[in-house]
């Protein structure tokens, strides 16, 4: 029997038309994608990670293909806070008319606080996503997300300066993901985003040297999907705040699986780089997949595998 499908989900009081969100760093500021399809079909957009100062990123080569995925060591290349606020967000707001997710990254607690305070003033920003999990920068990034006390410290620093929901983006490169997630929740986090990329590397057989100039990079794509599902499942049992699940999602079936594990919404990353229509296709396929598995409302299935 056919029922009208309800794809809406709610993150910290913000209702999304569907749970599909392009992941930070894989969608830029939406400009190129807006030439291909109407961005308003998306649930939200997590735009490219912002740092206080402009960053050129890591030296080339910083992308490498691998079986069932890719390695990246881009290193948070972005035009910096001032330009993002003055130029990129206003331009994106012309193309996307729903609340945005502002992904921020820093190298000290004060930088995260400065970024969050600035994003708090932007009407288009609905959620602040705090990246304490980038494996490709030194002196910050993943280091903050690997230590429960440091993760809590960054969370508190951000929460002090904003009234907007704060989601902490966690690294999978830890022994116990639940310990980090719980420390963020205890420090006031409104939600958790996971996972970021898995630390990995490739070696060129001809040169006998690492393929990436940074030696190591972050593995993303279908190869990491089972890891992401496992970690979302574990964190769902450990915390009482919403989870945005990501890591290798490339089909509508993947979305359902990640939500069953415990995600309220999902982010699609590497798939956008392989197919710029990936998010559009997933959204269009969701009603048929829901019908196939007898799902009337997506909001009902979060954590149903438990």
**In degrees, to the nearest 5, what angle opens at C-alpha 226 toward C-alphas 21 and 151?**
65
Q: 273-305: per-residue pLDDT in tens?
A: 999 999 999 999 999 999 999 999 999 999 999
* Short-list 299, 293, 179, 177, CA closest to 242: 299
Q: Is the dihedral angle over the CA atoms 105, 211, 267, 29 positive or is it negative? A: positive
Res 3: pLDDT: 58
Active-site residue, from 16, 20, 100, 134: 134
- Judged against a pLDDT cut of 90, whether residue 70 lies above it is answered with yes
Q: 72-121: per-residue pLDDT in tens?
A: 999 999 999 999 999 999 999 999 999 999 999 999 999 999 999 999 99
* Mean pLDDT computed over 213-219: 95
Confidence class of residue 139 from pLDDT cuts 50, 70 and 90? Answer: low
**pTM here?**
0.96
Domains of the chain: 9-57+75-199+220-300 (3.20.20.70)
- Judged against a pLDDT cut of 70, whether residue 141 lies above it is answered with no
Q: 243-275: per-residue pLDDT in tens?
A: 999 999 999 999 999 999 999 999 999 999 999
* Short-list 20, 13, 17, 7, CA closest to 244: 20
* Short-list 39, 43, 108, 6, CA closest to 245: 43
CB–CB of 47/102 below 8 Å? Answer: yes
| CA–CA dist 174, 53 (Å, integer) | 28
- Judged against a pLDDT cut of 60, whether residue 2 lies above it is answered with no
* Mean pLDDT computed over 109-137: 91
**Pairing status of strand 209-210 against strand 203-204:** antiparallel
Q: 143-159: per-residue pLDDT in tens?
A: 788 899 999 999 999 99
- Judged against a pLDDT cut of 50, whether residue 1 lies above it is answered with no
| CA–CA dist 236, 192 (Å, integer) | 10
Q: 165-210: per-residue pLDDT in tens?
A: 999 999 999 999 999 999 999 999 999 999 999 999 999 999 999 9
* CA-CA-CA-CA dihedral for 277, 72, 55, 156, to nearest 10: 90
Confidence class of residue 138 from pLDDT cuts 50, 70 and 90? Answer: low
CB–CB of 228/196 below 8 Å? Answer: no
Look up 134 and say whether it is catalytic. Answer: yes
| CA–CA dist 103, 295 (Å, integer) | 31
Res 4: pLDDT: 78
Res 71: pLDDT: 97
| Per-residue CA distances from 161 to 72, 127, 128, 148, 292 (Å) | 32, 13, 11, 21, 45
| CA–CA dist 215, 162 (Å, integer) | 37
Secondary-structure breakdown of the chain: helix, strand, coil percentages, each rounded to the nearest 5: 35, 20, 45
Copy the structure tokens of residue 198: 């898995």
């Amino acid at each position: 029997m056919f029922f009208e499908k309800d794809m809406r989900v709610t993150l910290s009081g913000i209702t999304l038309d569907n749970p599909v969100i392009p992941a930070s760093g894989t969608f830029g500021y939406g400009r190129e994608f807006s030439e291909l399809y109407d961005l308003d079909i998306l649930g939200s957009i997590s735009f490219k990670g912002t740092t206080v100062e402009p960053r050129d990123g890591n030296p080339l080569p910083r992308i490498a293909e691998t079986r069932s995925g890719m390695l990246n060591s881009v290193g948070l290349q972005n035009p910096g806070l001032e330009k993002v606020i003055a130029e990129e967000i206003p331009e994106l707001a012309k193309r996307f008319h729903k609340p945005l997710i502002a992904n921020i990254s820093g190298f000290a607690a004060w930088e995260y606080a400065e970024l969050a305070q600035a994003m708090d003033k932007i009407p288009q920003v609905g959620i602040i996503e705090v990246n304490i999990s980038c494996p490709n920068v030194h002196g910050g990034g993943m280091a903050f997300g690997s230590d429960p006390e440091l993760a809590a410290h960054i969370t508190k620093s951000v929460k002090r300066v904003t009234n907007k929901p704060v989601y902490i983006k966690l690294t999978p490169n830890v022994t116990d993901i639940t310990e980090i997630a719980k420390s963020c929740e205890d420090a006031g986090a409104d939600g958790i985003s996971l996972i970021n990329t898995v630390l990995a590397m490739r070696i060129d057989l001809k040169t006998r040297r690492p393929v990436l100039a940074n030696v190591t990079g972050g593995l993303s794509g279908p190869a990491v999907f089972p890891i992401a599902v496992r970690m979302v499942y574990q964190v769902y049992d450990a915390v009482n705040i919403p989870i945005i699940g990501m890591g290798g999602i490339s089909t509508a079936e993947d979305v359902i699986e990640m939500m069953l594990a415990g995600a309220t919404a999902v982010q699609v990353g590497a798939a956008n780089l392989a197919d710029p229509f990936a998010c559009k296709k997933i959204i269009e396929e969701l009603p048929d997949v829901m019908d196939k598995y007898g799902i009337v409302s997506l909001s009902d299935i979060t954590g149903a595998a438990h």
